[in-house]
Amino acid sequence: MIRILLASRNKGSMSDLEAGLTGGDVQITRADSGSKGMSMISENIFDLVVTDENLGDMTGLEFIRTIIAKNPMVNCAAVSPLAPGDFHEASEGLGILMQLPARPGKEHAERLLDHLKKILNTMEIK
Amino acid sequence: MQNGRIAVPSNGEGGLDATRSGHFGHCDVFTFIDVENGEIKNVSTIGNQGHVQGGCMVPVNLLASHNVNALVVGGIGLRPLMGFKQAGIDVYHDSQRAEIKPVVEDLIAGKLPQIREDQVCGGGGGAANPA
């Protein structure tokens, strides 16, 4: 079971992504703010957190920074309108596995899951 | 550090006479130095697993599963640093020297500082690669 938390103050902005992720062995949970997301992360295990650019109470990158300070094992992806080079600079050191465009769609869901599974498989020490 | 296993991200085939890799997540191999009573007892190497974007916990898992107690880096990101801390692995910092042996000797002698969070890549202070 792959457990994913989608953090967004606007549910519609990740509806296509959620639709693409749903099904198979994936469980989706929603949070509509950074503080609610942190509360859920402290009580549940997630394999992946996908954050929107702005959660109202904090930016997506601030949310990820808060997550990794408490639980660095959680994989994170982030919606960001920044150019790839600028995103790399802004997110340096945070170990974000993928940058997503605004309103990510089904094709992003597939790439995200493939990438996550690659990482999870590599984590199994041979 | 009197007893334990030290890991050093290394270039090429690694070993005590090899040079250090500037980015631990992208290194060719990790050199393991086993220390007993302040003396180097054994040196071995292990290949790094391929780096995937966002896969910085992979080397954390790798080193933790190989009983590493200490890691020496020239630079590291905040997320893997937190991962090593969670795994109980102390992370030491030397951004000047490329050679493995003198850095390891200083660690054993207690002369190497642990990296601070403000020194990590993206942590505000920046960290230079070894020369």
Q: What is the ipTM of this complex?
A: 0.89
To the nearest whole Å, the CA of B12 is away from the closest chain A CA by: 22
In 3D space, the residue among B89, B74, B84, B65 whose CA is nearest the CA of residue B6 turns out to be B89
Q: How far apart are CA B75 and CA B131, in angstroms?
A: 12
Residue B131 has pLDDT above 50, yes or no: no
pTM: 0.88
Domains of chain A: residue spans and CATH: 2-123 (3.40.50.2300)
Arithmetic mean of pLDDT over chain B? 89
Taking the CA atoms of residue A37, residue A42, residue A46 and residue A51 in that order, the dihedral angle to the nearest 10 degrees is 20
Chain A residues in contact with chain B using a Cβ-Cβ cutoff of 8 Å:
65, 68-69, 71-73, 75-77, 91-98, 115, 118-119, 122-123, 125
Domains of chain B: residue spans and CATH: 4-119 (3.30.420.130)
Q: Where are the alpha helices (DSSP H) in chain A?
A: 15-21, 34-43, 60-70, 84-90, 106-123
pLDDT in tens, B71-124: 999 989 999 999 999 999 999 999 899 999 999 999 999 999 999 878 887 644
Contacts B123 to A, Cβ<8 Å:
93
pLDDT in tens, A94-114: 999 999 999 999 999 999 999
Contacts A92 to B, Cβ<8 Å:
77, 121-122
Query: Which pLDDT band, with edges at 50, 70 and 90, does B129 fall under?
Result: very low
Q: What pLDDT was estimated at residue A123? A: 78
Which tokens belong to A72?
A: 């660095």
Contacts A65 to B, Cβ<8 Å:
78
